[in-house]
Chain A
């Protein structure tokens, strides 16, 4: 999709011949501040109808009765889609053939396996008629008892956690390590179910033309969504065009196409007209994924100098009754602290809930808050400052595998963040810092980490005779700044000023940019862009260096460099030629080149690749009422090369505030009797508001990494939440002397 991106004019910035590293403001900023950025639900093709879901109010059982006639009799209602008349699918929505494929509820029968599962879709001329039609269905159920909570069913050891990680890992002898320890701690922490709650509800506008399908829907993985829809409907992927220029947030919930999005396509099929289907906020608590609850037990042993002798980390979690996603919480202990013995394990129960999914730092966030809390308890048990304790147990190699790190500037993160925060003035004992208003002040630390993941991506680059360039890749911008950061990488790859580059993304008819997830999009699609730029420059250089009329004749491909729309001889920069001159002489309007972004398997075999950070938190707690306020957060992060420091800082801020939210705010509460979520709305499911977050600083620590990829990019999208959540919990302990063991931290837990 070509967007008429109006480039804003400020602020002035130094280019120094490179776009990468510059703090450009967002290239999509003008569209977003004027309301012109078009999100999926903003589309309105001619003849469009509105579809509204009717969803289950029970957690388990079957639909006994739906008053379809009453709904259809309502003025404006065109059709009601139920299992009786839902158009056929080419494949069973309960079939799956890869770990990134999840079972979908597409009205395949009358069974109910979680609350808010779709039981019918009402399609009408207006949104109001469809909404009222859905209410008129007045469903009757045959309900069965709901299985709720981490003790609600028999547990088992899953075949794998996350995507294909074994449920059990160990190195060394943890029991022996604990036995020989001078000091030991053991503690159990609970984390709740959380829901992504992107501001933009999942939405789709679908239109069929014969067997071709046109879709506007938010997607973090366009090619994967296209493939899934193609499989379900038995049509060729190239007959499906998905546009997703802007996502109103994703956080993992828009990684895979969800059931309701496919139901929008089915509704359009049924009525033979374009259909818009938008989830209501409460309908997002079920079919579009969530972060599963965990109960984690940490055991640690320390020698007389505060060195870890053993780490045991066990996590109990939950999936749905019908599909597998197991939060890999205990794996957080693989990478951060040196110990001769480490054992991690998982068990799980199956509950009457929608299937949990990837949610910003899946496993890392849940695991981090437990690990960082336990590390703090261990430091306190040893009578050590918690920063000193972390430095004493600094991992020089990846603890679980013994691999060297491709780069690790965590020491610098500790130093820079602690100096900025003023950590050295921290008293060791808790409850030592009442402020002038009588609030208990506490300071806490957490270490942040996230793996440097890469997927697969492709890009196509074009140079034109008018001196401009084009870069195409189906990248997805969910707020991280893809429209800007990728244009910066494209500009450098093409040797052009960024204003000369037309960047196209956000559409499935462009080269596959892979997934915007796992904090790996900038590295993966960025490398594809970088390589596509190199490929087209190589072709251009060929044209010049082989032509006698060119001042570059004879230089050879290696002998030229591209900058500012010209090729220069490396050995004599007075000899150069513009792209336009080279193409004009060759009689070409344009030339193109393609590139891929892919992880280098050899270096990934040899090195452990992670971003790191250190986060310091200050909280103030009312000694009488237990109310907690975070007053200050300072984080320092080292995540390889930074493409755009302005956007990266915003990612860190956002992640850190998610960490605050994890520690103090977010929790989905399930009614134990009905299995329904009691707070499926934005008033009662708490996320931070502006007043919850007074002061956040994120320091960017320089880090060169020659191994992760040629651009040296690790990824910044998820690391901020790790470390921060634990830092807040540890600050609460330092303020009050009460060690939080369940999250979010509740007032009643502090009042004892």
Chain B
């Protein structure tokens, strides 16, 4: 299969790549770039375990052919924290036990970042539940996930206010 050139900025690092056009963004991350934090649960866009941010928007990376995102900025779970300093969303998932087995967690956290950026759900738990329903959790840690989203939003808003002031 002829490879195609592809440039991606992943977690702030620029990658110049030659890629088989069949390769999905998910398999590129996992199998070629050793960014295995992003998970494959269904490979059909049905479970959300592979959620990443592409140019700031959450997508199912299993449904994205890598070469169709030439020039894109990709954020994966590996790029969310700053070393040992967890992002407020990550800290909130731990504090509210928003996971058990942890397999869907990278996708849940990326989806939360996307949801907060979309600014459509506000602090309405019903809308948060709806907005997070593309990410399945078979352990069913859903209650903790909603609490984590609410708390993280509040922390981020406080931080924004501090920055503004």
Contact = CB atoms under 8 A, between A and B. Distances in A.
A129 B90 CA distance: 36
Given A691-B130, A693-B143, A126 B99 contact: no
A128 B1 contact: yes
Contacts of B23: 128
Interface string A664-685: 0000000000000000011100
A199 B44 contact: no
Nearest to B135: A690
A9 B146 CA distance: 21
B41 to A, nearest CB: 5
Contact of B100 (A76, A128, A650): A650
B92 to A, nearest CB: 9
Contact of A126 (B20, B81, B91, B106): B20
A246 interface: yes
A44 B49 CA distance: 20
Contacts of A281: 41-44, 46-47
Given A127-B31, A653-B140, A687-B138, A682 B20 contact: no
Interface string B11-32: 0000000001011000100110
A107 interface: no
Interface stretch (A32-40, A430-438, A551-559): A32-40
A126 B27 CA distance: 10
Interface string A515-550: 000000000000000000000000000000000000
A696 interface: yes
Contacts of B116: none
A199 B22 contact: no
A644 B87 CA distance: 25
A39 B1 contact: no
Contacts of B126: 691, 694
B104 A199 contact: yes
Nearest to B86: A33
B76 interface: yes
Given A44-B34, A200-B41, A201-B41, A248 B97 contact: no
A200 B97 contact: no
B129 interface: yes
Contact of A690 (B38, B86, B146): B146
A41 interface: yes
15 contacts: A25-B94, A33-B109, A35-B77, A39-B36, A197-B138, A198-B138, A199-B101, A199-B137, A199-B139, A200-B101, A201-B40, A479-B100, A651-B100, A683-B46, A690-B132
A16 interface: no
Nearest to A694: B129
Interface string A60-77: 000000000000000110
Interface string B104-144: 11100100000000000000011011101111111111111
Nearest to A8: B94
Which of B91, B93, B97, B146 lies at the interface centre, i.e. has the most chain A CB atoms within 10 A of its CB? B97
A481 B141 CA distance: 13
B102 interface: yes
B80 interface: yes
A32 B143 contact: no
Contact of B41 (A33, A682, A688): A682
The 6 closest A-B pairs by CB, nearest first: A35-B37, A248-B103, A479-B101, A479-B100, A32-B102, A35-B77
B145 interface: yes
A115 interface: no
Interface of A: 6, 8, 10-11, 25-26, 28-39, 41-42, 44, 50, 75-76, 126-129, 132, 197-201, 246-249, 251, 278, 280-281, 478-481, 646-647, 649-651, 653-654, 657-658, 681-683, 687-694, 696
Contacts of A251: 138
B44 to A, nearest CB: 6
A69 B159 CA distance: 62
Given A127-B27, A199-B49, A657-B140, A248 B78 contact: no
Nearest to A249: B101
Contacts of A198: 101, 103, 138
Nearest to A657: B140
A201 B41 CA distance: 6
Nearest to A276: B31
A44 B141 CA distance: 29
A26 B49 CA distance: 20
Contacts of A129: 1
Nearest to A6: B84
Given A128-B20, A199-B136, A248-B104, 11 more contacts: A26-B97, A33-B77, A34-B80, A39-B36, A128-B22, A198-B103, A479-B102, A480-B100, A647-B97, A653-B143, A654-B141
Contacts of B156: none
Nearest to B99: A32
A651 B144 CA distance: 12
A588 to B, nearest CB: 35
B141 A653 contact: yes
Given A249-B101, A654-B140, A34 B90 contact: yes
Which of B39, B86, B106, B140 lies at the interface centre, i.e. has the most chain A CB atoms within 10 A of its CB? B140
B95 interface: yes
Given A480-B100, A694-B129, A687 B80 contact: no
